[in-house]
């Protein structure tokens, strides 16, 4: 099955600077890569996603890049703000043992924005 590794596990960034979180995946057939933000005690919220036919996608201060050859994808947050502090999970959609697609999550990155 799919294996997703995520780095770093913790990241502290000065407010206004950029943050980058990286993930690698193992299943070359995976073709959908969402990113979730989870604030303390709250639900995971989808913030951006990318499909394997696209190399980069942007939404205001957030961007995701995908390198299918190297099997890695990254989340970039620019002009960070205190409300960006949260745990971020990457995920990859690979095939389950049942022949269906399922999301496998990375281990998470705790991002802290220092005012």
Partner 1 sequence: DTEVTQTPKHLVMGMTNKKSLKCEQHMGHRAMYWYKQKAKKPPELMFVYSYEKLSINESVPSRFSPECPNSSLLNLHLHALQPEDSALYLCASSQDSSNQPQHFGDGTRLSIL
**Which of 84, 89, 111, 113 touches partner 1 by CB under 8 A?**
89
Closest separation between CB of residue 16 and partner 1, Å?
28
Q: Which residue's CB is nearer to partner 1, number 49 or number 65?
A: 49
Question: Can you tell me the distance from the alpha carbon of 89 to that of 51, in angstroms, rounded to the nearest whole number?
Answer: 16
Least spacing, CB of residue 51 vs partner 1, in Å: 7
3 state SS of 22: strand
* Contact (CB, 8 A) for 50 and 64: yes
- Pick between residue 41 and residue 115 the one whose CB is nearest to partner 1: 41
């Amino acid at each position: 099955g799919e294996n997703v590794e995520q780095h770093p596990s913790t990241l502290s960034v000065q407010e206004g600077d950029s943050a980058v979180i990286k993930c690698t995946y193992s299943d070359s057939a995976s073709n959908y890569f969402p990113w979730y933000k989870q604030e303390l005690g709250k639900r995971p919220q989808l913030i951006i996603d990318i499909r394997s036919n696209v190399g980069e996608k942007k939404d205001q201060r957030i961007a995701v890049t995908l390198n299918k050859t190297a099997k890695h994808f990254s989340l970039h947050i620019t002009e960070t703000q205190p409300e960006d502090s949260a745990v971020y999970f990457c995920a990859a959609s690979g095939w389950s043992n049942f022949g269906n697609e399922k999301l496998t999550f990375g281990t998470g990155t705790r991002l802290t924005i220092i005012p």
